[in-house]
Amino acid sequence: MTKANFPQPELLAFTVRGDIVETLHEGWICVLNHNKKVVYHKGRIEDKVFLRSSLKPIQAIPVADDDNKFEITSKELAVISGSHSGSKKHTELLKKFLKKNAIQLSGLKCGTHLPLDEIERNNLIRKKILPSPLHNNCSGKHLGMLYVCKKKGWDPKTYLNRTHPLQKEILNIIKKLSETKNISTATDGCGVPTFALPITNIAKMFSNFTQSKNKNYHRIINAMINNPYFVGGKNQIDSEIMKASKKRLIAKVGAEGIITVAYKGNSAVVKISDGSQKIRSFVILKLLKKLNWLKENEIKNSILENILKGEIKNHAGNTVGKIKVLL
């Protein structure tokens, strides 16, 4: 990689401890209006970044096919489109989906990790129970993929392969919605193909997704905004944004500091180059306030209000620093 095409993020935020700047956080912001015109940006938005799990609503499109509309519930579609935190509510829903569609747990190739949900994680540790693949925050997506394979008669054992019909279909959807073929492919943390696109095209993808008349897209959007908890979980930034916006915004995070937020063709992408989740949450909320996509009364008395204080606390609960944003 030459210096000319090395990514060029811009300083978005910094932290202060005492009167000293402690950390610097660069990244990219791209905001499009419903005409897909850039109305605000930071960093070189032609740079490519990986979508990671922020792609899940798009990866769910084959699941939301019109032929399946009476088989997939709104909550099931939300968890398939999301990165659930592995709470008991999440895993119970997934168990029912497995049974209903006669899918074997052993068919999931996402691997296992402890649930992100604190209550369920502590419960497993206390009882010395190993987590199952259903605790993996990508298990909803994987179950959705296995469901599509079963419906279409595709090989369920090779669904992770880039050459699998399902992955080819997903890539074609991405090309169409993002309006680009300038796409790089790698492997995500859960084993499925993941894609890197220019940031402007990621924004275009969610702009097109949220203003299309396609009924399948609207099925996913409605599932997410009506069931924000099943997209992420308690205190998850994308779930809390959707909950606060009263069924107006869809939001989806991805690993390494990316988040997309969109509604009716307006879209915003934030990517923090060092992958900080804390900074990502702070920057996206400051941006949504700046854009007036989130109103003051929607934020008040919610977890979002606490995040926006930008306070850095020590283990005794004392404020010892602040996060500052440059928008």
pLDDT tens readout for residues 109-126: 999 999 999 999 999 999
Determine the average pLDDT of the residues in 265-290. 98
Q: Which residues contact 128 (CB under 8 A, 6 or more apart)?
A: none
Domain boundaries in the chain? 31-314
pLDDT of residue 41: 99
Q: In the chain, pLDDT over 90 holds for what percent of residues?
A: 96
Which carries the bigger pLDDT value, residue 71 or residue 258?
258
Q: How confident is the model at residue 141 (pLDDT cuts 50, 70, 90)?
A: very high
Which two structure tokens, joined as six digits, stand for 71? 């088989």
Would you say 57 and 209 are in contact if contact means Cβ atoms under 8 Å apart?
yes
> Which stretches of 180-248 are assigned E, i.e. beta strand?
184-187, 193-198
Lowest mean pLDDT among 36-40, 68-72, 234-238, 298-302: 68-72
pLDDT of residue 53: 98
pLDDT of residue 291: 98
Bridge-partner residues for 29, per DSSP?
Answer: 42, 270
pLDDT of residue 5: 78
Other C-beta atoms lying within 10 Å of the C-beta of residue 19: 5
> Which stretches of 205-254 are assigned E, i.e. beta strand?
250-254
Distance of CA 169 to the CA centre of its chain: 20
Determine the average pLDDT of the residues in 298-321. 95
pLDDT of residue 2: 67
